[in-house]
Each structure stands twice: as structure tokens, then as C-alpha cells.
């Protein structure tokens, strides 16, 4: 699939940082609302996954893939989404701490609910797969579908290619 367009895009970036996690980002009112999900979204409605809300990101970050500091990120999934709660706009639902969205990604499809359980500087939410036709307790997409939907690369490949580049740059110069 080519890069998603329109006002309701989502992306999930697999991110190797101090701790490995998946960043879920929803385009809302011109920014990317973002959560760090340590284990990624589950397709099993019985599993609750911790999702820590982090700073909004600029739309320019949507398709980012490459090195970040000592780590790196790949575009693990992307697509469009829609709200499953037509009563209020999504910004109001986010402020109220409860959203339900339908994702149409290349790997993840179906409804998820995000419920805020703790506020503060880094609000904690729980992400839960809704019981719909796309729910599947047997899938482990983070393990079985590790490649970037943008480039086909794995996160390990992105990190190792960049490491080689660093070593070349660090190599001592001769003739001085």
C-alpha cells in the first residue's frame, strides 16, 4: 500500500529506544496524537495492553523511518482510521479519556478501545481489541509480521545498516 492520505491517518512505528515499544499515532486536528505501547496492540479482546500517552508529534513525522539517537524506528503499520463513537468529535473523546476507533491498516484491522486509567504528565491508557469480526486470539502480528510496511526492512536491519555507516564515519583517517 502506498502512503495513506487524508485527515484520518494512523501509523504504528516500532521504536528501539531505551525500551523497545510501538508508537501508535492517530492524526487528529493536524497533529499526531501518540501513545507508546510496550507490547504493541493485541488482536485478542482478552488482552489489555498498556499505552502511555506521549507528546503530540508533527504530521511530518508520519512516515519517519531511520535512526533516532542511539536507536531507530520503522513504519510497522499504517493506514486510515475512523471513530466508532459518532456522538462526539475525537478531540472531546480524548479529553474525556475514552476513544473507540476502527483501524484499516496493512497488518491491523478492526476496532480498538483506548481507556485512560491514570492522568498526570504521562497518562496511562489501556488498549483493548473490540469483539468484532477482526478479533483473533491466535495472531501475534508483532512476531510474525515484523517488516516495515514502507520499506520491507526489519528494525534490526535499519539499526545494523546505520551502525555500519557510523563505523565508517568513525574510522581513523590515514596519511595525517
Give the residue closest to Mn ion by C-beta.
Answer: 15
Extract the C-alpha cell encoding 46: 482478552
Write down the least CB distance from residue 45 to Mn ion, Å.
25
Question: Which residues have CB under 8 Å from 108's CB, separation 6+?
Answer: 12, 41, 43, 77, 79, 141
Task: Count how many residues are written for the chain.
Answer: 176
Minimal CA–CA distance to 58: which of 78, 14, 28? 28
Write down the least CB distance from residue 143 to Mn ion, Å.
19
Write down the least CB distance from residue 71 to Mn ion, Å.
9
Q: 37 or 90: whose CB is closer to Mn ion? A: 37
Write down the least CB distance from residue 35 to Mn ion, Å.
9
Q: 23 or 65: whose CB is closer to Mn ion? A: 23
Write down the least CB distance from residue 54 to Mn ion, Å.
7
Which of the ranges 7-15, 85-93, 123-131, 165-173 carries the binding residues for Mn ion, by CB under 5 A? 7-15
Q: Give the helix/strand (H/E) hosting 168.
A: helix 155-170
Q: 51 or 110: whose CB is closer to Mn ion? A: 51
Q: Give the helix/strand (H/E) hosting 157.
A: helix 155-170
Q: Please list every residue from 10 through 49 that binds Mn ion, using CB under 5 A.
A: 15, 23
Q: 9 or 110: whose CB is closer to Mn ion? A: 9
| CB-based burial label for 43 (10 Å; 0-12, 13-18, 19+) | buried
For Mn ion, how many residues bind (rule: CB under 5 A)?
Answer: 2
For residue 124, list its beta bridge partners.
52, 118
Name the site residues for Mn ion (rule: CB under 5 A).
15, 23
Amino acid at each position: 500500500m502506498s502512503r495513506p492520505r487524508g485527515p484520518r491517518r494512523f501509523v504504528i512505528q516500532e521504536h528501539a529506544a531505551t525500551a523497545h515499544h510501538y508508537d501508535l499515532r492517530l492524526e487528529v486536528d493536524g497533529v499526531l496524537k501518540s501513545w507508546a505501547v510496550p507490547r504493541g496492540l493485541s488482536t485478542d479482546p482478552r488482552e489489555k495492553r498498556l499505552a502511555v500517552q506521549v507528546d503530540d508529534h508533527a504530521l511530518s513525522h508520519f512516515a519517519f523511518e531511520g535512526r533516532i539517537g542511539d536507536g531507530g524506528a520503522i513504519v510497522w503499520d499504517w493506514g486510515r482510521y475512523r471513530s466508532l463513537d459518532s456522538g462526539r468529535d475525537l478531540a472531546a473523546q480524548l479529553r474525556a479519556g475514552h476513544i473507540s476507533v476502527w483501524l484499516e491498516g496493512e497488518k491491523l484491522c478492526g476496532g480498538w478501545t483506548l481507556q485512560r486509567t491514570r492522568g498526570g504528565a504521562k497518562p496511562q491508557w489501556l488498549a483493548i481489541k473490540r469483539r468484532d469480526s477482526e478479533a483473533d486470539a491466535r495472531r501475534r502480528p508483532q512476531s510474525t509480521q515484523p517488516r516495515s510496511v514502507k520499506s520491507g526492512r526489519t528494525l534490526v536491519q535499519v539499526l545494523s545498516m546505520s551502525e555500519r555507516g557510523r563505523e565508517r564515519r568513525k574510522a581513523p583517517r590515514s596519511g595525517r
